[in-house]
Amino acid sequence: MNEAGRQSDGADTTVCDPETLADLADVFGQERLAYLLGGLDDEIVLRLERTTEDAVGLGANAHALVSVSGTLGFASLSRACMALERACLDGGDLAGPLQDAQAEAARARPVIAKLRAGSA
């Protein structure tokens, strides 16, 4: 891995865990992993790019992303969504946690696209 947080194959290790992805590819195969990554990308668009003003709905959207993003090795996105969900449950300020989750999603989506294309 180089200093910029990228492995020699181009995977951004600050966004996703290449070991988790390799393990999943071993279990499911590359084609199924690409499908699962596509599902994560679809969920990001559905749940974070088309946000609701309703804290309950936003919390439910964040909750849905916590598990799927974490399972696929996108821990920073998962943590950001967990913080957003917690803010929704606590009735706290949502602007900061929402912005953080959206920023992590924006970092994840190009990596997902590269992984799906087989170039990362």
Tokens 């606590």, residue located: 90
The tens digit of pLDDT for each residue in 70-116 reads 999 999 999 999 999 999 999 989 999 999 999 999 999 999 999 99
Check whether 5 has a pLDDT greater than 60.
no
Query: Domains along the chain?
Result: 18-117 (1.20.120)
DSSP labels, 50-92: S--S-HHHHHHHHHHHHHHHHHTT-HHHHHHHHHHHHHHHHT-
Strand partners, 12: 6
Tokens of residue 98, six digits = 């929402």
